[in-house]
Amino acid sequence: MIRLESILTPGRSLVNAPGGSKKRALEHIANLISREVPGLEMQDVFESLIAREKLGSTGFGNGIAIPHCRLKGCESPVSALLHLDAPIDFDAIDGAPVDLLFVLLVPEAATDAHLELLRQIASMLDRKDVRERLRNASSNEALYQVVLDVQNGH
């Protein structure tokens, strides 16, 4: 089983990330990922995430969104985690604004393992204590550490 800490890095875990709007947040994510992952282009990441949002919002409720998509040129899953400096409207199912975004990009030929990653992310963010710990993280490293701790049963 693929573990979240193997696809997320401290460099792709951001506190006080600029929000502004759904589009701006997704642009910021695409920029971040293209800087961190050689071979992934900002525009490709951005357009794929936007196209996925058009199928239906990835806002899951409780201030959480899990933007995800299949991506051409993506060889293995890539994740990013952002806590926004201010909540934004994300067309979430409960109508609540979103301030935590856990992004998942998977190869075009996505498998059951990739669906399992999405389930892992969703079940982790379903826990109120985890959401509070993520929101209280004061640095990028601390944000990343919450995910490690949860994965290791703490």
**Predicted model pTM:** 0.95
Nearest CA to 99 out of 37, 14, 27 is that of: 14
Overall average pLDDT of the 29-43 stretch: 95
pLDDT on residue 113: 84
Q: Is the pLDDT of residue 26 over 80?
A: yes
What class is the 4-149 domain? Answer: alpha beta
Q: Which residues are catalytic?
A: 68
Percentage of the chain beyond pLDDT 90 is 86
C-alpha closest to that of 82 among 152, 144, 149: 144
Give me the mean pLDDT over the 116-132 stretch: 95
Please state the rounded mean pLDDT for residues 100-120.
91
